[in-house]
Amino acid sequence: DGGITQSPKYLFRKEGQNVTLSCEQNLNHDAMYWYRQDPGQGLRLIYYSQIVNDFQKGDIAEGYSVSREKKESFPLTVTSAQKNPTAFYLCASRRAGGPYEQFFGPGTRLTVL
Amino acid sequence: AQRVTQPEKLLSVFKGAPVELKCNYSYSGSPELFWYVQYSRQRLQLLLRHISRESIKGFTADLNKGETSFHLKKPFAQEEDSAMYYCAPPGAGGTSYGKLTFGQGTILTVHP
């Protein structure tokens, strides 16, 4: 079964703790993305990666970090420096060539207690 | 920089009424745009892309270069169309397919 998986579905964190969200894809896509979705604010890009061992900041990268050691995996770490981490996080991937459709994971809802 | 703007955060219509979700873009180069949809409790998924000129679930979208718009239209809305809709460019174009910036999204509610 091909696609993108994210885990966990729900995540609770205490203030001051770092937490890592998993994103895996078996679509052989080169590009991967992390978005944050908040009510009334749509999708905002956190980080993206076009190739293994390379990634770029999106519009709201502060307080987040990523790695891209494998083509299939693009984990996102929400650090204690992120001031308002409670949100719904979406991972996506896309092929290098056209068509340029993005495929999305089911999302992780992070709640900071 | 590529930008898309969806001016309406919320849009409500009654079943059977026409619906139009607005999307405007500012682009360098040749534009290519998509509409994505997120139904309740489902993944965000592609609805349609302008280059294919397709109609999906009764929705169409025409790229108007003069008005720099890519509005999504359906002549007769159905209750199952209620969802969040995003307009999006594919990326920087060419061999650089990096940063994608979505529009702010429009929540469509179709009342019975």
**B107 vs A6: CA distance, rounded Å:** 24
Q: How far apart (Å, rounded) are the C-alpha atoms in residues B49 and B18?
A: 20
Asked if residue B19 lies in contact with residue B77, where contact means CB atoms within 8 angstroms, the answer is yes
Phi, psi of B4 (to 5 degrees): -125, 145
Q: Are B36 and B45 in contact (CB under 8 A)?
A: yes
Q: Name the residue in chain A with its Cα closest to that of B51.
A: A99
CB contact under 8 A, A43 and B9: no
CB contact under 8 A, A104 and B45: yes
The amino acid at residue B77 is A
CA A73 to chain B, closest CA, distance in angstroms equals: 17
Q: Do the Cβ atoms of A93 and A71 come closer than 8 Å?
A: no
**3-state percent breakdown (helix, strand, coil) of chain B, nearest 5:** 5, 40, 55
pLDDT at B65: 79
List, for residues B62-92, the tens digit of each pLDDT value: 888 788 888 999 999 999 999 999 998 765 4
Q: Sort out which chain B residues have CB atoms less than 8 A from A5's CB and list them.
A: none
State residue B1's pLDDT score: 58
Given an 8 Å threshold on Cβ–Cβ distance, is B32 in contact with A106? no
Query: Which positions in chain A touch B100 (Cβ < 8 Å)?
Result: 33, 45, 48, 94, 102
- B7, B106 Cβ separation under 8 angstroms: no
* C-alpha span between A6 and A97 (Å, rounded): 24
Distance CA(B108)–CA(B72), nearest Å, equals: 12
CB contact under 8 A, B43 and A107: yes
Give A15 or B13, the one with higher predicted confidence.
B13
Interface contact A104-B105, CB threshold 8 A: no
Please give the residue of chain B at the shortest CA–CA distance from A102.
B46
Q: Is the pLDDT of residue A17 over 70?
A: yes
Q: Judge whether A31 and A93 are in contact, CB under 8 Å.
A: yes
Q: What is the pLDDT of residue A40?
A: 76
Residue of A nearest to B107 (CA): A40
Render pLDDT for A29-82 as a digit per residue (tens, 0 to 9): 998 999 999 987 788 989 999 899 999 998 899 999 999 999 999 999 999 888
Q: How far apart, in whole angstroms, are the C-alpha atoms of residue A104 and residue A29?
A: 12
Q: Is the bond preceding B89 in cis, omega lying within 30 degrees of 0?
A: no
Residues 6+ apart with CB under 8 A from A97: none
The answer to whether the CB of A78 falls within 8 A of the CB of A63 is: yes
What is the spatial distance between Cα A47 and Cα A60, in angstroms, rounded to a whole number?
A: 8
Residue type, B50: H
pLDDT mean over A74-98: 90
Q: Tell me the DSSP string of A8-65.
A: -SEEEE-TT--EEEEEEE-S--SEEEEEEEETTTEEEEEEEEEETTEEEE-SS-TTEE
